[in-house]
Amino acid sequence: MEIRRFKGNDMREGMQQVRSCLGDEAIILSTRSVGDQVEILASTESAVLAIAKEEHFPKPVVESEETQSTESDRSSQFLGEEKLAHLETEIVELKNMLCQELGRLQRFPEPVSGHPDSLVTRLVNTGMSHSYAQELTATWRPKPTTMGQLGARLSALISSCDEECVSESGIHAFIGASGAGKTTTVAKLAARYALKYDRKDIVLISTDRFKIGGQDKLEGYGQLLQIDVMAANSVQELSKLLRKYNNRRMILIDTGGMTRHKRDELLFKYLGGATVNGRKIQNTLVASSSSQQNQQDLIIESFGRENLSSVVLTKTDEAITLGAALSTLTRHRLPLAYQGNGQGLSDLVLPDVRELVQSFLQGFQSKAKIEMQHVESIS
């Protein structure tokens, strides 16, 4: 029987690989955490049945009248059927073992050797890195044994901004990975601002010179909202624009996406320490709810936690689980400024920590149910 090995950054990614490769016939043989990744061993139901027929049924042969229906043939057939029955029993036992294990992980029992391995595994499956899940749960005394207790622990670690970003005058820059939703977030904030204040008191600046059409997208939003939009292709140009529009109550800066191999070092160094006529630039991380925790950790480390003032969490309506998003908030103790929950310009809301954690717990439970249903289909 062919057994395939799959690795993913989380259980969701690993299961997607399994389904893509093996389809609905996939049988999960085992799962385990390997470093910051999840390893899944899987095969297919047809492969199991094929190996059963090949190895445990005697091959048909052309028999003579003397050998037909001999005691040897009957014994061989009996042994083949006995081995097949044994194989079927092993499959049933494997299914029961996996069902019991998933049930154990759902209940959060008292862990073996004093470490909450079951809880760590469940958190890793929601998108948290294994190292952070261990770090997070190691300090919990007593350990949470219910969803309510887990939610309370996470809620206590998440803070939100005391005042709304657009309620104060200032210069705000938005950084994050490519595709996180920075340009859309800037446009949503501009629309939110325009509803409260004069459009002439705000200006948008795009520094996204790497992405094709990046500056054009913000320009389009500006025309729609009737708000001035400027482009800066260098730190020098940005500095000049900030001085030129220093009299504007609100300046929002859209930046290019950060990746492992590409980032505008000069720009980010400037944003991290610049003060324009007494106004310090406030830098906000834009983090997609469906991104990987390691990706956000890399961006925060590269830009500097001390240079960030808050987080905007985007695409909360698209994420299956929110483990990575909550990791960004709790691990780096960054206050949450806004939540983006849709594509419309009005789909940017003030944070509701209780609702966010509740959504995380629902995804947490739903994922466990999906895994349980998958195991129950193995027969």
Distance, in Å, from the CA atom of 243 to the CA atom of 252, rounded to the nearest integer, reads 14
For residues 323 and 126, the answer to whether their CB atoms sit within 8 Å is yes
Which one has a higher pLDDT value, 161 or 378? 161
**Has residue 175 got a pLDDT over 80?**
yes
**Has residue 68 got a pLDDT over 60?**
no
Identity of the residue numbered 325: A
Where are any strands of DSSP class E within 232-292? 250-254, 275-276, 279-288
pLDDT given at position 111: 37
**Has residue 198 got a pLDDT over 80?**
yes
Q: What is the pLDDT of residues 73-111, one digit of tens each?
A: 555 555 566 666 666 666 665 655 555 444 444 444 333
Closest CA to 63 of 74, 52, 50, 48: 74
Which one has a higher pLDDT value, 348 or 19? 348
Distance, in Å, from the CA atom of 16 to the CA atom of 11, rounded to the nearest integer, reads 8
Which one has a higher pLDDT value, 186 or 320? 186
Q: What is the pLDDT of residues 124-154, one digit of tens each?
A: 888 888 888 888 787 777 777 677 787 888 8
Q: How far is CA 329 from the centre of its chain?
A: 13
pTM for the model: 0.65
Q: What would the mean pLDDT of 330-337 be, rounded to a whole number?
A: 91
Task: Find all residues with CB under 8 Å of 306, minimum gap 6, and list them.
Answer: none
Which one has a higher pLDDT value, 315 or 50? 315
Angle at the Cα of 18 (from 369 to 33), degrees rounded to 5?
70
Task: Find all residues with CB under 8 Å of 295, minimum gap 6, and list them.
Answer: 177
In the chain, domain spans: 4-153+367-376, 161-350
Cα-based distances in Å from 146 to 107, 110, 150: 7, 11, 6
pLDDT given at position 16: 78
Burial of 13 (0-12, 13-18, 19+ CB in 10 A): middle
3-class SS of residue 175:
strand
Highest-scoring range by mean pLDDT, 45-49, 55-59, 150-154, 323-327: 323-327
Q: What would the mean pLDDT of 280-302 be, rounded to a whole number?
A: 90
Distance, in Å, from the CA atom of 358 to the CA atom of 361, rounded to the nearest integer, reads 5
Cα-based distances in Å from 274 to 167, 204, 253, 320, 356: 22, 18, 13, 38, 33
Closest CA to 102 of 303, 379, 327, 373: 373
Report the 10 Å Cβ neighbour count for 59.
Answer: 7
pLDDT given at position 241: 96
Which one has a higher pLDDT value, 194 or 242? 242
**Has residue 251 got a pLDDT over 50?**
yes
Distance, in Å, from the CA atom of 130 to the CA atom of 111, rounded to the nearest integer, reads 16
**Tokens at residue 196, please?**
């409260």
**Tokens at residue 231, please?**
């482009």
Which one has a higher pLDDT value, 150 or 56? 150
**Tokens at residue 27, please?**
């049988």
Q: Percentage of the chain surpassing pLDDT 90?
A: 26
Q: Tell me, which fold does domain 161-350 have in CATH?
A: Rossmann fold (3.40.50)
Which one has a higher pLDDT value, 148 or 221? 221
Cα-based distances in Å from 193 to 134, 182, 199: 41, 16, 8
